[in-house]
Chain A
Amino acid sequence: MSWSIPFMPEQASNFAPGVDLLFYALLAFSFGLGLVLTFLVVRYSARYRAGSRADRSGRRARSLRLEIAWTAATVAIAFGLFAWGAVLFVDRNKAPADAIEIAAIGKQWMWKFRHPGGQREINELHVPVGQPVVVSLASQDVIHSFFVPAFRVKQDAVPGRTTRVWFTATKPGRYHLFCAEYCGTQHSGMRGQVIAMQPERYAAWLEARSGGEPLAAAGERLFRSLGCSGCHGAESRIPAPSLEGLYRRPVPLASRRTVIADEAYLRDSILQPQKHIVAGYGAVMPSYDELIDEDELQMIVAYIKSLAEDREP
């Protein structure tokens, strides 16, 4: 057992320095204020202990100026700290467009990952240093949470929806991957490692692991075998909306609303086709909820997304 005393987690992602700086600022402020208050309490306790001869003239039970002053100061500091944390948070909300997209599934009690080239791994995630990586998270059962302390990132994986988290590793190494949301008996065993590697080593690793079918290709195969292409295919005679170039486009619905065809929309349309009916089409598609699992869903979604990439100039 190691008995070294750690104080701070490693900084190994693009987010870590920014979060740490804010953390240090909060720490300085807290200890500063804490020390001032402690000093005052100790000083008053000593100076004004019963029986002391300290001067007590001019004591007051209120001071409007003082109260307004400290209220105003508290408000200003609170707003400043809020804004700092909020800006960092909103900034990290959008992943860069060129990020490597990794599909992850949390299940009791393991993490399953699949790289764009089809390489799979369990409880280990290899990523290149210096390149943004976006992990799209799904859960097969209960809520889990993808937490890499060295990267200062955390995102819940929620059954029934896709969530995303991104980061750029900045330092090669092996880092803890924890499940942070309590998920049942072996919650504390749902641990793994994120392995950040130099890009060329990552490429070599991918190469050595290749042979798996790329995600979108697997999705296309399913798209045909499950019969999706029968209606959504180009030469189909059953009227169903075309999926070419659909991803991230606005879709007019029969309910006169318009939604953006994001991942959540694709997911819902496969599992609960009645939720969004595209304007001009009938509500005829059956649900695939019982027919496919979370893995297969991710493949099909990846395929539909790839139909939009092809069309980009």
Chain B
Amino acid sequence: MSADTYPPQSYFAAGYGPRAWFLTTDHKRVAWLYLVALTAFFFIGGAMAVVMRLELATPQGDVLTADVYNRMFSIHGIIMVWFFLVPSIPATLGNFLLPLMLGAKDLAFPRLNLASWYVFAFGSLFTLFAVIAGGVDTGWTFYTPLSSLYSDSYVSAAAFGVFIVGFSTIMTGINFIVSVHKLRAPGLTWFRLPIFVWTMYATALVMVLATPVLAASLILIVLERVFGIGVFNPELGGDPLLFQHLFWFYSHPAVYIMILPGMGVVSEILPCFARRPLFGYRAVALSSMAIAVFGFLVWGHHMFVSGQSAYAGVVFSFLSFLVAIPSAIKVFNWTLTLRKGHITFDTPMLYALGFLGLFTFGGLAGLFVASLAVDVHLHDTYFVVAHFHYIMVGGMVTAYMGGLHFWWPKMTGRMYSELWGRIAAVTTFIGFNLTFFPQYVLGYLGMPRRYHAYPAEFAFWHVLSSTGAVVLAIGYVMPFFYLGWSLLRGSAAPANPWRASGLEWQTASPPPQHNFARTPTVTEGPYAYPEPEDER
């Protein structure tokens, strides 16, 4: 290992004081700012989930009052969706890696990048203030007229905070789109981009196109609450269902904001630890774009029993089955990537394999809720809760953890305990399934979601689920400690500990302030993993 693996000009060396962090325009430091903020929100939102599962361990409401329980799941949803999942991979790993993967010095608009973090911090803290002031009890979905006319909680403040955070999402999206278009290194053509960059690009498009609709619908709620204008109020000629159309026109594409980046991370990890190229690279790249486009056309599948016309339901169901196809294709491609590889099972790979299983079972459950007659029964039950947690937590959070472990040596220049990493990966997989698989059964039995108390016959599955939640929580807390330890005491990481392909591994760990000593030139496609024999 040559001495220049740890160049003195590592991006950490550019400054250690608060100024160097809070006034930085270095995309790598902004990624850290986000990582710290998101970790805090992940644990706040997670703690609320644990308290809810504690409440649900018995059929009666005995730990919390109904009012507090309702505020709990509302703020759990708001935090986890907007202050964790939407920014999770894009704002942390994406911010850190996109310029490195493009062979660029930084994102296209470094100051906009820092601004996005301040906007995020302001908006999310504003919402947190609403929680401390008394909370919000409308669910993260803010359905009207409950939110606009009936709730006496801090709806306007919470909605305003989410509205503000939306701008940071749009800023990140614009930055990523422009960077991918304009900052690719010489020779880095579109079909030489890693899938992670493709998914960041697809995600950024959705962010920029969908988020304004969320902003509009939240503003309309605030206007109706404050000025009593009749947009959703039927007594003034408004339509409560209009809100659902607006909300899901954003929130369904947002589901893809919350999974596409995970797909990108896994598409990097699997080839690396199988030592072979990603199977069907072009199909995976194009299916990411297909998901981003079709994702805009399926919002009505949240409204099959809302009073929407039955024929609209048929069209939305059809389109929802259509959007399942590119996801299925990706799963097949990931599986085939393992074939004839030289597979090792380091921590990132364990998370990636966990993702593959959990995403598949979450995605297959999507067929049940896309199917009209079955969804009539399943809508608003725990089946839906299980389905989206399999995708959002089993899929996205697992991929996020996998990505964090995969690129941790690059981000910090330190290695972590491989043993603890593997234990945590296996623990979360077991805990996750124990928590959420029983919820599929509960849902088909007819257990409605957002219930503070429930009939005793559902107790068995709820107890199982609550037990799983404890295991899952342990699995998520572990990395906090051993990664923290690694940051302080971990052994130094080489530039490329996984022998991975990709531009980000060709610079030092941690990278210098401007990423590359000189701009790299790309001459081959991604995932150029040779046979191990050839490496000798």
Contact = CB atoms under 8 A, between A and B. Distances in A.
Please determine whether chains A and B interact with each other in the same assembly.
Answer: yes
Interface of A: 1-9, 15, 18-19, 22-23, 26, 29-30, 33-34, 37-38, 40-41, 44-45, 48-51, 54, 56, 58-59, 61-63, 66-67, 70-71, 74-75, 78-79, 81-82, 84-86, 88-90, 92-93, 108, 141-143, 145, 147, 149-150, 152-156, 158-161, 163, 176, 178-189, 191, 272, 275, 289
A179 B150 contact: no
A6 B445 contact: yes
Interface of B: 59, 61, 66-67, 70, 137-139, 141, 143, 145-146, 149-151, 234-235, 237-241, 274-283, 304-307, 310-311, 313-314, 317-318, 321-322, 324-325, 328-329, 331-332, 335-336, 338-345, 353, 356-357, 360-361, 364-365, 367-368, 370-377, 379-381, 441, 444-446, 448-461, 527, 531-532
A45 B343 CA distance: 7
Given A22-B374, A147-B446, A56 B357 contact: no
B305 A156 contact: yes
A163 B307 contact: yes
A188 B317 contact: no
A152 B376 contact: yes
Contacts of A84: 371, 373
Contact of A188 (B66, B318, B364, B461): B66
B307 A78 contact: no
Nearest to B146: A142
A9 B455 CA distance: 13
Given A9-B446, A179-B448, A89 B310 contact: yes
Given A19-B374, A89-B310, A179-B448, A145 B341 contact: no
B448 A61 contact: no
Contact of A23 (B444, B450, B454): B444
Contacts of A85: 317, 370-375
B371 A81 contact: yes
Contact of A41 (B143, B277, B335): B335
Given A6-B458, A158-B241, 12 more contacts: A2-B457, A15-B373, A22-B373, A23-B444, A26-B367, A85-B371, A89-B376, A142-B143, A145-B380, A154-B377, A158-B306, A160-B235
A154 B461 CA distance: 23
Contacts of A74: 324-325, 328-329
Most buried by A among B329, B364, B449: B364
A18 B377 CA distance: 12
Nearest to B65: A185
A93 B304 CA distance: 12
11 contacts: A2-B459, A6-B445, A8-B445, A22-B371, A40-B338, A56-B342, A74-B324, A82-B321, A159-B240, A180-B381, A188-B61
A59 B381 CA distance: 45
B380 A181 contact: yes
A193 to B, nearest CB: 11
Contacts of B277: 61
Contacts of A51: 342
B371 A59 contact: no
Contacts of B336: 66
B146 A155 contact: no
A78 to B, nearest CB: 4
Interface centre among A49, A51, A59, A185 (most CB of B within 10 A): A185
A160 B372 contact: no
A33 B276 CA distance: 24
B146 A189 contact: no
Query: Can you list the 5 inter-chain pairs with the closest CB atoms, starting with the nearest?
Result: A160-B234, A149-B446, A85-B371, A89-B372, A88-B373
A181 to B, nearest CB: 6
Contacts of B137: 184-185
B364 A33 contact: yes
B456 A2 contact: yes
B372 A56 contact: no
A93 B373 CA distance: 10
A136 to B, nearest CB: 12
Nearest to A15: B373
B354 to A, nearest CB: 11
Nearest to B271: A61
Contacts of B239: 160
A187 B69 CA distance: 11
Nearest to B244: A143
Contacts of B379: 154, 180
A19 B322 contact: no
Contacts of A7: 441, 445
Given A1-B59, A41-B357, A88-B372, A62 B377 contact: no
A108 to B, nearest CB: 7
B110 to A, nearest CB: 36
A200 to B, nearest CB: 29
Contact of A78 (B240, B322, B353, B460): B322
Contacts of B313: 89
Given A2-B457, A152-B377, A78 B448 contact: no
A88 B321 CA distance: 16
A290 to B, nearest CB: 9
Nearest to B341: A48
Contacts of B441: 7
A90 B305 contact: no
B483 to A, nearest CB: 25
B179 to A, nearest CB: 27
B343 A61 contact: no
B271 to A, nearest CB: 9
B318 to A, nearest CB: 5
Contacts of B527: 61
A161 B367 CA distance: 30
A229 B367 CA distance: 53
A150 B446 contact: yes
Count chain A CB atoms within 10 A of each CB in B238, B317, B381, B451 and give the residue with the most: B451
Contact of B150 (A8, A38, A54, A142): A142
Contacts of B145: 141-143, 159
Contact of B340 (A59, A82, A145, A187): A59
A89 B314 contact: yes
A48 B374 contact: no
B321 A79 contact: yes
Contacts of B341: 44, 48, 56
